[in-house]
Structures are given as C-alpha cells and as structure tokens.
Amino acid sequence: MKRKILFIDPVPGPIEPNFKSYLELGKASETELVIASIESGPEHLEYRFYETLVLRDILSLSVKAEKDGFDGVVIGCFYDPGLYEAREITKDLVVVAPGEASMHIASTLGNSFSIIVGRDKWVPRVLENLHRYGLKEKLASIKALGLGVNDFHKDPERTMKLLMKAAEEAKTKDRAEVLILGCTMQYGFYNELQENLKIPVIDVSLAALKYAEFFIDLRKQFSWKTSKACAYESPPMEEMLKWGIYPP
C-alpha cells in the first residue's frame, strides 16, 4: 500500500543527514517520506513556552500536508506538541507523535515500561501525556540522565554509559520490561542498549513513523480514522474563514 508521510521536525532545520537516513531506513518501502523542519524558533522544546512557539507551524504544515495529498504526519518531538490540535484542525489526516506511539507499543511488548528522559524538568510534562493516553498504570519509572536535548550526541560514548546505567536500574530495581528512550534526539542508541539489556528498547521516532504507517493502512482499508466526535471535532470552516484564521 502506498503511503505518503510528512515527518515534522519541529525545530529550525536543516535536518541532520544522520537522522534523515535513520528514518529512511525505518520506513516501509511503499512509504514516501518527506521531512520538514520549521523556519524559525527555538532549537529544542524542553520548555512549554518553546512548544507554543512552534504550534502554529506544526498546524499549518499539517493542514498543508493534507491539502497536498499526504496521508499522515509525524510530529517529531516526544512531548507530542500539537498532536490533539492537529487532529482537530485536519480532516482525514493521520496524525501521530512519538510519545503516544511508543507508549502504546511498549504496553503491548511488556507488562510495564520505564522512560529515560534528559532532565527532571521533563518529567511532569511526560507524566501529563501518560495520563492523557490513559496508560499511567503501565509506567515502572521515569529516569532522568541530567542531559539536555542537544547534549545526547555531543559525547555519544558518555551518553551511552549514562543510558546503560539508567536502563539497568530501570530493569532491575523498577522491574521495567520495556524501555522508551524519551526524546527524538536519543536516536541511534536503542540497538546497542537492546542487545545488552535483552529487553526491547524503543526509539521513539521510529516508533512514531511505523505507527503512522499502521494508522494510514487502517484508514485506507477500513476507514478507521480520527473520531470527529467531541475531542477532535473540527471548528466550523465558515467561522474560521469569517475570522480570517484559516488556513492556520
């Protein structure tokens, strides 16, 4: 089945070539993948304020993507910024994000999971999403490494050491059966961790990309798509046009 997906990197570009080829290896062969970053804004989204700065771009890219014939978008940040908003403002587009995708996948692969984030600051934000998705019961623990978003790839060996330590604690002390690497910028580490720890370690960008493909297929085959009752009911087009707020 053909699929066309836009991966939105919600910070200013250009996309790192490494990350790009990483995603491309992850996609299905029938999937056409386009990666877009936003024009300007903060270089990471560790703060809620930073998220507000990119929401408009995420939404306008999503609406434009639907108009341009994309089947789905992936919002490339573990905070899932704009996920519910983009589902509301679009019509049939599949909208997916790393937090939701990885938590559902992890809940199916094991009885409980731990999330490894960068800093303590992120924890309440991630817990809020966990509540949103209704999966709080599955959480074993959240571990923080003491690293910012843009630190993970500065000294990959040190990052790997910190990851390994946190992961082992999560597995041994917190009885986590699955691990989630809670930032898209933790890309590239899952495989080595997984081989060492012998439990699944989820890379959240890859998880989101595959989740998008999965929901695109469900929509194409069975018309199972974002419900438009209550939570994701779209605003009336007439109203938006009258107020000059559409397209976003």
Query: What residues from 100 to 139 belong to the interface with a second copy (CB under 8 A)?
Result: 100, 104-105, 107-112, 120-121, 123-125, 128, 131-138
Please state the closest distance from residue 103 (CB atom) to a second copy, in A.
10
Using the rule CB under 8 A, is 52 a contact of a second copy?
yes
79 contacts 57 by C-beta, under 8 angstroms: no
The C-alpha atoms of residue 201 and residue 225 are separated, in whole angstroms, by 28
Site for a second copy in 77-96 (CB under 8 A): 82, 84-85, 88-89
What is the spatial distance between Cα 101 and Cα 206, in angstroms, rounded to a whole number? 9
Whole-number minimum distance, CB 136 to a second copy, in Å? 7
Under the criterion CB under 8 A, does residue 141 sit at the interface with a second copy?
no
Q: Does 21 bind a second copy (CB under 8 A)?
A: no
For residue 174, which amino acid is it?
A: D
Interface with a second copy includes 9 (CB under 8 A)?
A: no
Binding-site size, a second copy (CB under 8 A): 88
Can you tell me the distance from the alpha carbon of 22 to that of 25, in angstroms, rounded to the nearest whole number? 5
For the chain, the farthest-separated pair of C-alpha atoms sits apart, in whole angstroms, at 58
14 binds a second copy (CB under 8 A): no
**Closest Cα partner for 72 from 218, 248, 228, 213?**
213
Task: Give the residue carrying structure tokens 């194409």.
Answer: 220
Per-residue H/E/C for 40-86:
CCCCCCCCHHHHHHHHHHHHHHHHHHHHCCCCEEEECCCCCCCHHHH
Binding mask 145-174 for a second copy (x = CB under 8 A): --------------------------x---
Binding a second copy (rule: CB under 8 A), the pick from 34, 161, 191, 241 is: 191
Question: Per CB under 8 A, does 26 bind a second copy?
Answer: yes
Contacts of a second copy in 206-235 (CB under 8 A): 206, 210-211, 214-215, 217-218, 221-235
Minimum separation from the CB atom of position 118 to a second copy (A): 13
Give the list of residues 6+ apart from residue 212 with CB closer than 8 angstroms, or none: 3, 5, 72, 73, 74, 94, 96, 101
Of 15 and 214, CB closest to a second copy: 214
